[in-house]
Amino acid sequence: MPELNPQRTTAELKELRTLTGNDDGAQRVAFTPTWAQARAWFLSKLKDLPVEVHQDASGNLWTTLKGASPKALLIGGHIDSVPNGGWLDGCLNLLAGLAVLRRIAAEFPDGPPVTIRLVDWADEEGARFGRSLFGSSGFSGSLVADEVRELKDREGITLPDAIQPHGIDLDKMLDARAEQKNAAAYLELHIEQGPVLESLNLPMGAVLGTFGVERHAITFTGQAAHSGSTPMAQRKDALGGVSKLHLAIRNIAVEYGGVCTVGSVITKPGIVTAVVGEATMTLDQRHLDAHSLAMMYVDAQARSRRIAAEEHLDVTWKKIWSIPPFPFHPHLIDLADASIKEVCGVSHRLPSGPLHDAAEVCRTGIPTVMLFVQSLRGISHNKIEDTKEAHIEMGVRALDRLADKTIAWIATDNRL
């Protein structure tokens, strides 16, 4: 029987790091020359495989190994990175999937029982224009062109102008929904990007789903005044509202078992000699349960109004973005758990706080699951991002076991 080669995956990850990184980390930001170079490198790895390769209307790159059945197992990843990113985020998924594809192609020279499709999603990170899950949202149909049409990068280049040289027309991106045809399941291996598995001294875990997100900008408005001449009792300090709500937000997260983050605060006039007249904070709330997420949002709004009254301020909320939670397929979670146990001896089930393209695939109704492999120090999106090589290779092996189990499920399940 043809053997899987996880060591080759590790070597290719290092090769890609050398090719597209520098002393500050990975530089494969989507729709840049380095990203295009990374994709060309990836394409070179496919030349000896009996596959068909094409780019869809959303810029996603599909590699298809035709099987006896048109029902397809999808395995996905993304080769783009954040600026100064880590060497594993996104590309581990893709190159582990390539290892599985190679093994299946060698084992079934006349074609596997079902079709296998490996996808490199375009701009998962959203690092350049702030719109994450870009290509996969075109695939799912959730992308609204007019909501992103005016987005610009730091150089003032608009998103439509940046993607056009790469063969992507913003107004035709939803044509990528055609790629959903015959998709029976989706698998994705990813580094955890957090500290849970390391804290449990476990190499891998099966992912229950991706958190839903409520993201808002909250503005408290008071009255700017001289810091020396305005008595404390007569101040309308907008930053006081932000400060109180920030502390309340942390308690809300604990109460509901979610996470809440205030990532930015902007004050006006923003000088040392003036009481803050206006303060705007960003709030990111996440939970795997839709009802709990909704209640965290409602509670935060209620507390903001109470705090505004206490501080003699006005408060307004502006929605930035939201996405519902996406629980993964129960049977695939079981298969993922079993695959990890076969390779590692033990598994752990956990949710994903970060978003992934798997969320957009799950949105379409395609049965979806993810595998996590331990992240050292729980750090990602940073040049020190790392995972033990032994764990990387366990991840490749577990993904391969899961692929086999999923192929058998697809082939025998008449509901698919």
User: Whose structure tokens read 């923003």?
Assistant: 270
Alpha-carbon gap, residue 192 to 78, rounded angstroms: 15
Annotate 13-54 with DSSP letters as a single string. HHHHHHHHEETTEE---TTSHHHHHHHHHHHHTTTTSS-EEE
Q: What is the pLDDT of residue 250?
A: 98
Annotate 292-312 with DSSP letters as a single string. HHHHHHHHHHHHHHHHHHHHT
User: Whose structure tokens read 């580094």?
Assistant: 191
Provide the 10 A C-beta neighbour count for residue 142: 15
Q: What is the pLDDT of residue 416?
A: 57
Q: What is the pLDDT of residue 320?
A: 87
128 half-sphere exposure, CB direction, 13 A CA radius: 24
User: 86 with 383: CB under 8 angstroms?
Assistant: yes
Q: Where are the beta strands (DSSP E) in 211-329?
A: 212-221, 225-226, 259-268, 274-275, 278-287, 314-323, 326-327
CA 222 to chain centre: 37
Question: Are β-strands 61-65 and 52-55 bridged in parallel, bridged antiparallel, or unpaired?
Answer: antiparallel
Q: Structure pTM?
A: 0.90
Amino acid, res. 5:
N
User: Whose structure tokens read 């902007």?
Assistant: 266
Which among 239, 294, 304 is positioned nearest to 271, based on CA atoms?
239
Which run of H or E residues covers position 368? strand 368-373
User: 248 with 307: CB under 8 angstroms?
Assistant: yes
Tokens of 78: 């993304």
Amino acid, res. 221:
T
User: 33 with 24: CB under 8 angstroms?
Assistant: no
Per-residue pLDDT of the chain (416 residues; tens, 9 = 90+): 689 999 999 999 999 999 999 999 999 999 999 999 999 999 999 999 999 999 999 999 999 999 999 999 999 999 999 999 999 999 999 999 999 999 999 999 999 999 999 999 999 999 999 899 999 999 999 999 999 999 999 999 999 999 999 999 999 999 999 999 999 999 999 999 999 999 999 999 999 999 999 999 999 999 999 999 999 999 999 999 999 999 999 999 999 999 999 999 999 999 999 999 999 999 999 999 999 999 999 999 999 999 999 999 999 999 988 899 999 999 999 999 999 999 999 999 999 999 999 999 999 999 999 999 999 999 999 999 999 999 999 999 999 999 999 999 999 986 65
User: 284 with 215: CB under 8 angstroms?
Assistant: yes
Annotate 97-141 with DSSP letters as a single string. HHHHHHHHHHH-TT--SEEEEEEE-S-SS-TTTS--SHHHHHHHT
Q: What is the pLDDT of residue 321?
A: 85
CA 326 to chain centre: 12
Amino acid, res. 259:
V
CA dist list (Å): 114 to 59, 71, 188, 256, 312: 25, 6, 18, 42, 65
